[in-house]
Amino acid sequence: MEDKKPITIIKIGGNVIDNPTELALFLNDFANMEGFKLLVHGGGKSATKMAESMGLTPVLIDGRRITDAAMLDVAVMIYAGQINKNIVAQLQANQINAMGFTGADGNLIQSQKRNHPTIDYGFVGDVTHVNSTLLQTLVNTGIVPVFCAITHDKQGQLLNTNADTIASELAIALSAHFEVTLNYCFEKAGVLSDSNDDDSVIEQLNASLYAKLKEEDAIHSGMIPKLDNCFKSLKQGVQSIKIGKRQMLQNNKTICTTINL
């Protein structure tokens, strides 16, 4: 059997996107990474700012955004338009042949509207299928895909989808064809044992320690779905996962969190 070629999938959070200097530094680091690669980005504060300028009030329940029709329009404009194309243009300036995608393009990521027993999340999608055949072809031809957090249901409806989940689902789908490394870059140096102490980075996090820290409420809110995605990815073929600041991409000495089963 032929050895799988390595690919690195990186998801960047809003803190990187919201800071033009940080974004430029990250994209330079990303451009200098060798081998196949793929980028997934969230939306940052831009969608909230745009919504508020239009007189819309963003609604969140348990930290998750409710996406009504008006907020979906804003999300598509900002995520798939302004942010995605800005990133693609900057990567082109770094001599990287990037191409921006929503899940609707080439039916790359299909999802279904979230069905929750008590909460109507509106136009929020949960991923059901990744077109790994087309994605593999794009990567093998030298394209660097850049995905925003918009998917579709194949019935003509766009859906707002969690970017951490998109990164995880893409990593799982590609693990059949590549040796996949998944990195989540955000503002902290890693997963913290004390959310008020930036120096309390857990450098190795396995499933049993994760369960213990959740029980103690040391890990909570938005970090839980991110880590749930990580453990799911490892169980389904992803080779390695790290969480931390963008500097962890430059060398192996930068402190970050490595996720293990």
Binding residues for substrate: 43-44, 65, 160
Q: 174, 7 in Cβ contact below 8 A?
A: yes
Other Cβ atoms less than 10 A from the Cβ of 26: the count is 23
Residue 225 tokens read as 């779905």
- CB contact at 8 A, 39 and 149: no
Instruction: Give me the half-sphere count of Cα atoms (radius 13 Å) on the Cβ side of residue 112.
Output: 4
Q: Which two tokens stand for residue 64?
A: 């998750």
Please report, as a single letter, which amino acid is at residue 219. I
144 burial level (CB within 10 Å; 0-12, 13-18, 19+): buried
* Chain mean position to CA 125: 14
Q: Which residues are annotated as a binding site?
A: 43-44, 65, 160
Beta strand residue intervals within 79-177, DSSP E: 98-101, 109-113, 125-130, 144-147, 150-152, 158-160
Q: Which helix (H) or strand (E) holds 182?
A: strand 178-185
